């Protein structure tokens, strides 16, 4: 479903050019959970931002279900991301002035999928255990609850690929573990492919495959 070949990305900082991804390859089959394990600064978030279409690579291909993500226009990338790729960040990235339900309904409204956003949004917030928090704003929710809202928002479009960037990274251990259990159970139930970016070896082991991001390239550890 996803085949990344020879992906390169560098940034300029002042007069320095930093090569972050130096010809990265990755193959992901449908329904597979894959961990990308790497130390801080190794380029994990850079990789996810390219996959999510938030940033564009210098060169290389990212073939997702027959479409090269690197060749799409900004508008096409936004549409494809909205329909087929869900994203969860370490810092939740919820919209502060929207309620939990409004945050979750937003992708459905933007893409006008035909489903009733409120019905679908309520259902998925129930699935993540937040039926009693529909009208709360992010500022009124705990870290774990905020991440559950973000999970619901990422999964409400029933994406084929879920990208998660250290989703338990800013939560305490127990809350983080519960959030990860929820992510795994949701992707398993729906057959969603998962790329989980983490620096946590133990967490990486809960995925079907472990890839190590080192010196700008990925190697398969399992």
Ligand X SMILES: Nc1ncnc2c1ncn2[C@@H]1O[C@H](COP(=O)(O)OP(=O)(O)O)[C@@H](O)[C@H]1O
Instruction: Verify binding: residue 73, ligand X, rule CB under 6 A.
Output: no
CA 100 from centre of chain: 19
Question: Position of tokens 């949701």?
Answer: 186
Q: DSSP class of residue 58?
A: S
Compute the CA torsion angle 148, 92, 65, 107 (nearest 10 deg). 80
Instruction: Verify binding: residue 40, ligand X, rule CB under 6 A.
Output: yes
- Segment 80 to 99, residues that bind Mg ion, using CB under 5 A: none
Look at residues 192, 140, 219 and name the one whose alpha carbon lies nearest to residue 182: 192
Give backbone dihedrals phi and psi of 43, rounded to 5 degrees, phi first.
115, 15
Look at residues 47, 30, 80, 67 and name the one whose alpha carbon lies nearest to residue 193: 30
- Minimum CB–partner distance for residue 10 and ligand X (Å): 9
- Minimum CB–partner distance for residue 154 and ligand X (Å): 18
β-bridge mates for residue 218, sequence order: 213
Binding residues for Mg ion, rule CB under 5 A, total 2
Instruction: Verify binding: residue 46, Mg ion, rule CB under 5 A.
Output: no
Instruction: Verify binding: residue 53, ligand X, rule CB under 6 A.
Output: no
CB 18 within 8 A of CB 10: yes
Instruction: Verify binding: residue 45, Mg ion, rule CB under 5 A.
Output: yes
Residue 38 binds which of Mg ion, ligand X, none (CB < 5-8 A, kind-dependent): ligand X
CB 21 within 8 A of CB 8: yes
Q: 127 or 166: whose CB is closer to ligand X?
A: 166
- Minimum CB–partner distance for residue 142 and Mg ion (Å): 23
- Minimum CB–partner distance for residue 13 and ligand X (Å): 5
Stretch that binds ligand X, among 12-20, 109-117, 176-184, 200-208 (CB under 6 A): 12-20
Residues in contact with ligand X by CB under 6 A are 11, 13, 18, 20, 38, 40-46
């Amino acid at each position: 479903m996803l085949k990344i070949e020879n992906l390169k990305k560098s940034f300029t900082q002042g007069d320095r050019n930093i090569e972050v991804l130096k010809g990265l390859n990755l193959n992901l089959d449908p329904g597979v959970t894959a961990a990308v394990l790497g130390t801080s600064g190794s380029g994990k978030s850079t990789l996810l931002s390219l996959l999510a279409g938030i940033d564009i690579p210098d060169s290389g291909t990212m073939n997702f279900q027959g479409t090269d993500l690197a060749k799409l226009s900004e508008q096409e990338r936004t549409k494809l991301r909205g329909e087929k790729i869900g994203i969860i960040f370490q810092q939740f990235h919820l919209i502060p002035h929207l309620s939990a339900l409004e945050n979750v309904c937003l992708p459905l409204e933007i893409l006008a999928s035909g489903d009733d956003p409120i019905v679908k949004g309520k259902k998925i917030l129930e699935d993540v255990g937040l039926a009693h928090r529909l009208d709360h704003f992010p500022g009124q929710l705990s870290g774990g609850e905020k991440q559950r809202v973000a999970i619901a928002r990422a999964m409400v479009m029933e994406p084929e690929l879920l990208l998660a960037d250290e989703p338990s990274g800013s939560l305490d251990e127990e809350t983080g573990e519960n959030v990860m259990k929820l992510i795994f159970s949701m992707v398993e139930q729906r057959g969603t492919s998962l790329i989980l970016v983490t620096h946590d070896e133990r967490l990486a082991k809960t995925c079907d495959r472990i890839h190590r991001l080192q010196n700008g390239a990925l190697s398969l550890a399992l």
